[in-house]
Amino acid sequence: MSDSIPNIDPLTKRRSPYWGRLRSYGIVIAFLWLIELFDSLFMGSRLEMAGIQPRDPSGLDGILFAPFLHAGWAHLLSNSVALLILGAALLMSGWRDLLIVSAVSALVAGVIVWVIGAADSVHIGASSVVFGYFGFLIASGFYQKTPRTILLAVLVVIFFGGALWTMLPTESVRTANISWEGHLGGVIGGFLVARSRRKKAVPEKLLAL
């Protein structure tokens, strides 16, 4: 997938090669760990309550905060690994795709969680963004149909396809306190971005016989 704007590193404001982009992206993920450390040491994990609270007007701001908050170190670690791997794949196209998919998937997932999430629950975690990357990479293989996008889509399905079950409101998912609504919303957001980038069909020339 081509990127119509230069690969500008948002941290340095300079053109950045792939490894430079990946290094800056690693700093972003490290920021999530600093937030969790601050919450654990100084806030008594109270920041976890700043997530999305379905159908509660006071919980709407959680749509903005939820992707940066996690329910402990294990939650953060699993999301960080997925963010790093899938984000690295997205960064092959540059910052534009990664930033747009991150924002759209977080927003779409946040709205869906707020509308259909279980009452008296709080939803946090970057998994909405993870699933946004997941949905975008798979959908890009379908819409773009370039060797790279198809290969990435296949690899994503092979290594992360098992996570699809967490998008369903099964008893095991509910028991594990997994936000299936956030996962589903993230995939929808990533899919929508990929669809908006689909190649326009080139009309065939009409030939007079």
CATH of residue 27's domain is 1.20.1540.10
What size, in residues, is the chain?
209
Average pLDDT estimate for 56-68: 94
- Chain centroid to CA 98: 9
Q: Within a domain: residue 209?
A: no
Q: Within a domain: residue 1?
A: no
* Domain extent for 54: 18-196
**Furthest-apart CA atoms within the chain: distance in Å:** 79
Q: How far apart are CA 29 and CA 32, in angstroms?
A: 5
Q: Within a domain: residue 10?
A: no
- pLDDT single digits (tens) 84-133: 999 999 999 899 999 999 999 999 999 999 999 999 999 999 999 999 99
What residues contact residue 110 under an 8 Å CB cut-off, 6+ apart? 52, 62, 63, 64, 66, 128, 182, 185
Number of domains in the chain: 1
Whether the predicted model's global pTM rises above the 0.75 cut? yes
Q: Within a domain: residue 171?
A: yes
Q: Is the dihedral of CA 93, 90, 112, 144 positive or negative?
A: positive
Report the pLDDT value the prediction gives residue 59, as an integer from 0 to 100: 85
